[in-house]
Structure 1
Amino acid sequence: MLRTTLASLALAVFAVSAHAQTIRIAIGTQDSTINCAAGGLMIRELGLLQKYLPHDGQYKGADYDIQWKNFTSGAPLTNEMVAGKLDFGAMADFPGALNGVAHEAGGRHSLFINVLSGSVQGSGNGIVVPKDSPVQSLADLKGQTISVPFASTAHGMLLRAIAAQGWDPQTDVNIIAQPPEVAGSALEAGKVAAHADFVPFAELFESKGFARKIFDGSQANAPTFHGTLVEEDFAKQYPELVVAYLRATLEANQLLAEHPEQYSELIEKVSGVDAGVVYLYHGPLGLQTRDLTWKPEYRQAVATAIDTLKLLKKADRGLNIDTFIDDRYIREAFKAQGLDYDAALANYAPQPLKANDAVSGQPITDLKRVAQVWVQGEPTVRSYASAEEALAQVASLKQAGKAVRAVYTQASDSGIKLLANQAWYVQAQGGQLHAFLLKDQATAFAQTQGGTVKDYAGVSAAAVAAR
């Protein structure tokens, strides 16, 4: 059994009793990268790790020195792991691969032990342009400057998207390095034509009103995720502590599933990311799926990242995926929590929505048409059977003097969750609305299916007129 194997490994390497000694557990987090929340911010804020740390056997009498350090991206986190200052680190597939390469270059090893949140289609990474830019799609950016955090998962997405256009990234576009904290002001000032970024900055910039999303990672059909790495030496010496950390992650994940609004508020309080954007990811039918299992698509994402690093000349050799990705610890954590890892591994469904229509009270069954409204001051998000119904209710709420925090709808083609005020719509005969990320997608639908293409202002005005 795995528990026996891990215990034997620990005893072989950790022969000296842990009695009366202090064990450091140093964890690098990315609080503003909100799909890392279940592996960092929530564990820290709710004290979940302490709940699972062992205090018997070889750990009897041991003191735990739990250290947390927050980062805005994976590259500096990796630097501190390689320097021996951190034991765990949360980051995406692309910087995670770079983490493994950096450890190998230093004669050490790290292990990718679990997924935290991701999308097998690629949603989460995105490209935005200034709100008033004439650019409507990636094809309009040829010859222009696009900024991106270098060595990030968004960088990998951007390179793949450019390749799909048949462009040369060295000559057909000007790619510059820019972290999200700089990119926001650069977009507002018109210093860059576009910015590519990872979770949650494309949607966060949209929600702040100065940018517009013109490309979602799902269009590149390149799986992406964030997950956790651990120093191999630490994992060999303290396998039970690795499992304890993952059990805390599983509990945090369960809390997010059960109370997405409550913990979206907590994440906003700590990270500064608007709760409305957090809910876009962590709420039901979210833009990404919280998934702690090593699905084949996520394994492939790591392999693709390694190949991309070679292309960028950031790695002169590959990694052995079969040893770099290690699912023993997450499987043991699932077992300890009474959960079925293999069932979760086979499950590709998004976080489910089980709700009644806020007007009729009837159960919502057509999830392709569902829309949601988060009213300021209300503890839970309202759900509606259709976008047209939701927008009519938004008009009534505003007339009653109530502030609307966020409105969500589902894309009619891809099914991804959208901020409704940033979407494009086709209003069919009879008033039924179909939502899309891009104007081009809406136009193509209208040409084949009929209907009128409108932006959010247009469909909102129509909803008011129809009341």
Structure 2
Amino acid sequence: MLLRSTLAGLALAIAATQASAEAIRIAIGTQDTTINCAAGGLLIRELGLLDKYLPKDGKYKDAQYVIEWKNFTSGAPLTNEMVAGKLDFGAMADFPGSFNGVAHLDAGKQSLFISVLSGSIKGSGNGIVVPASSSVQSLSELKGKTISVPFASTAHGMLLRAVAAQGWDPEKDVRIIAQAPEIAGSALRSNRIEAHADFVPFAELFPNRGFARKIFDGSQAEAPTFHGALVDADYAKKYPEIVIAYLRAGIEADQLLAAEPEKYSELIEKVTGIEAEVNYLFHGPLGLQTRDLSWKPEYRQAVATSIDTLKLLKRTDRGLDTAKFIDDQYIRAAFKASGLDYDKKLGNYAPLPLQARDALTGKPITDFKRLAQIWVRGEDKVRHYASPEAALQALAVLEEEGKDIRAIYAQAADSGIKLLANQAWFVRDGKGQLKAFLLKQQAESYAQANGGEALDFVSVNQKLLASR
């Protein structure tokens, strides 16, 4: 009897030792080129942040972690591998994320949307572009035309809402075809497509590369959009501490981006090839989108809207209980463990703030509605100016000095979104002040109502040079 008891105890001890020495897989699917996922993938991986937060005590005392990373160009194949059990975590936008939830249910499984990573309650990030040589200046001119879009993406949802807002029938008044971003880029270059709708960062990347022009920003559709992180529900139940560790690594990645956006924009370019100036457009202060890890009501609604649109597209006939699918317990725990106030963040809608001095006068900038910025190649920091006219005056001097200009930014006077200034339209009022707009139509409407002249970037630059 004593021997049997001893053997049983020994067996239990061996089992406990094996459990504590368990090799725990942490398989994470990333979308590196979808740069708004950076704080949930690329930066965590490249900076080795996850190791800092993985639990190493209690049941994890002797755990051996096997961290696996796999990069994807879109959410659909990432979802396929999550459903197949090959991945534990994934980062993607609201539309593919919602489809991820549906696909798991179809397979008798469950995934959880555990955090937002970056987004816009206005809808910025998605956009529509045309070839650079196109005469089209606004969406209203695309009736009867062909518009390509990655199907069942967040950009597809934006396009359908934008078409509906025009009062058009999406099956009769426009021809919508499926086209991936990498194919669309080539088609735009060779004028083989009349317009293309896409998600982050392509509606800014293609214009920045000079072969496309943005004619519609997702904020005009007034539909919130975001990218976020998901996890397999069974995995989260088994290893909640690892889920929290992953999110804490994401919190640190977000903080690093906020502190040094130029530096980490450069890192993203090094890994993905997407120019740092485009990364800064999103991740820098007062950026096109706001990095935000909290589940604001607008982002919850974006998930519900995505599911409804997926039904409309006949990609699913299944509903999804967003109250169960969106699970904020892990991000709340991660905030607490990181010494942060989640509820305070939940109520904060402000973009990443900017504390800066005018590069010409040295005076603090207090009004950011007319902020303009210049990034000179070879300089670690973006230069800030209190007005577009000040930035353009400085630009003329920099060009005379032979400086290579990476990017010029301006804040839109109506929507407040950050623009690539060389793609923008401007109105010069009676006081000589410039106001920036995304579209020619917006600038002309403002000029008619308030006085002034609508000018493209080249024209306004020439006028300023002539007045020097």
Q: How does the TM-score come out when normalised to structure 1?
A: 0.96
1:66 match: 67
Amino-acid identity (%):
71
2:27 match: 26
SS in 2 for 1:383: strand
**For residues 344-366 of structure 1, what are the alpha-carbon distances to aligned partners after superposition, in whole Å with 9 as ceiling and x for unaligned?**
00000000010000011110011
Offset, 1:15: 9.4
1:85 match: 86
CA distance in 1, matches of 2:71, 2:289: 22
CA distance in 2, matches of 1:464, 1:446: 21
1:170 and 2:174 correspond: no
Offset, 1:310: 0.8
1:358 match: 359
1:258-297 aligned within 5 A: 258-297=259-298
Gaps of 5+ in 1: 1-13
Offset, 1:429: 1.6
CA distance in 1, matches of 2:128, 2:338: 38
CA distance in 2, matches of 1:18, 1:369: 60
2:11 match: none
1:236-247 aligned within 5 A: 236-247=237-248
1:38-49 aligned within 5 A: 38-49=39-50
2:8 match: none
Change (3 A) 1:283 1:296: same
State the AA in 2 paired with 1:366: D
1:124 and 2:128 correspond: no
Offset, 1:17: 6.7
CA distance in 2, matches of 1:40, 1:462: 45
Offset, 1:32: 0.5
SS in 1 for 2:228: strand
**For residues 444-464 of structure 1, what are the alpha-carbon distances to aligned partners after superposition, in whole Å with 9 as ceiling and x for unaligned?**
000000001100001111222
**For residues 1-57 of structure 1, what are the alpha-carbon distances to aligned partners after superposition, in whole Å with 9 as ceiling and x for unaligned?**
xxxxxxxxxxxxx99974112111000000001110000000000000011001110
**For residues 308-336 of structure 1, what are the alpha-carbon distances to aligned partners after superposition, in whole Å with 9 as ceiling and x for unaligned?**
01111111121001000000000000000
Contact 1:410 1:416 in 2 (8 A): yes
Contact 1:395 1:463 in 2 (8 A): no
SS in 2 for 1:269: helix
Change (3 A) 1:59 1:214: same
Contact 1:17 1:59 in 2 (8 A): no
CA distance in 2, matches of 1:149, 1:68: 24
CA distance in 2, matches of 1:172, 1:230: 40
CA distance in 2, matches of 1:272, 1:217: 24
SS in 2 for 1:27: strand
1:419 and 2:420 correspond: yes
CA distance in 2, matches of 1:447, 1:15: 77
RMSD of aligned alpha carbons: 1.1
2:3 match: none
Contact 1:409 1:435 in 2 (8 A): yes
State the AA in 2 paired with 1:178: Q
**For residues 89-134 of structure 1, what are the alpha-carbon distances to aligned partners after superposition, in whole Å with 9 as ceiling and x for unaligned?**
0000011000001111111000000000000000000000001111
1:299 and 2:300 correspond: yes
State the AA in 2 paired with 1:319: L
1:20-419 aligned within 5 A: 20-419=21-420
1:465 match: 466
State the AA in 2 paired with 1:452: E
User: Which stretch shifts more, 341-350 or 452-461?
Assistant: 452-461
CA distance in 2, matches of 1:17, 1:366: 61
Offset, 1:136: 0.9
Gaps of 5+ in 2: 1-14
SS in 1 for 2:170: coil
State the AA in 1 paired with 2:324: T
1:3 match: none
Q: How does the TM-score come out when normalised to structure 2?
A: 0.96
Change (3 A) 1:74 1:132: same
State the AA in 1 paired with 2:188: L
Contact 2:152 2:313 in 1 (8 A): no
1:11 match: none
SS in 2 for 1:339: coil
CA distance in 1, matches of 2:171, 2:289: 31
**For residues 352-407 of structure 1, what are the alpha-carbon distances to aligned partners after superposition, in whole Å with 9 as ceiling and x for unaligned?**
01000001111001110110000110000000000000011011000011111100
Offset, 1:170: 1.2
State the AA in 1 paired with 2:335: F
CA distance in 2, matches of 1:114, 1:82: 19
State the AA in 2 paired with 1:406: A
State the AA in 1 paired with 2:139: L
Contact 1:18 1:60 in 2 (8 A): no
Contact 2:118 2:228 in 1 (8 A): yes
User: Which stretch shifts more, 232-241 or 164-173?
Assistant: 164-173
CA distance in 1, matches of 2:110, 2:172: 36
CA distance in 1, matches of 2:208, 2:17: 54
CA distance in 2, matches of 1:21, 1:312: 44
CA distance in 1, matches of 2:427, 2:309: 38
- Count of aligned positions: 454
CA distance in 1, matches of 2:370, 2:288: 15
CA distance in 2, matches of 1:242, 1:417: 33
**For residues 167-220 of structure 1, what are the alpha-carbon distances to aligned partners after superposition, in whole Å with 9 as ceiling and x for unaligned?**
111111111111111100101111111000000001000000000000000000
User: Which stretch shifts more, 426-435 or 344-353?
Assistant: 426-435
CA distance in 2, matches of 1:438, 1:77: 35
CA distance in 2, matches of 1:410, 1:200: 18
**For residues 125-162 of structure 1, what are the alpha-carbon distances to aligned partners after superposition, in whole Å with 9 as ceiling and x for unaligned?**
00000011111111111111111111111011111111
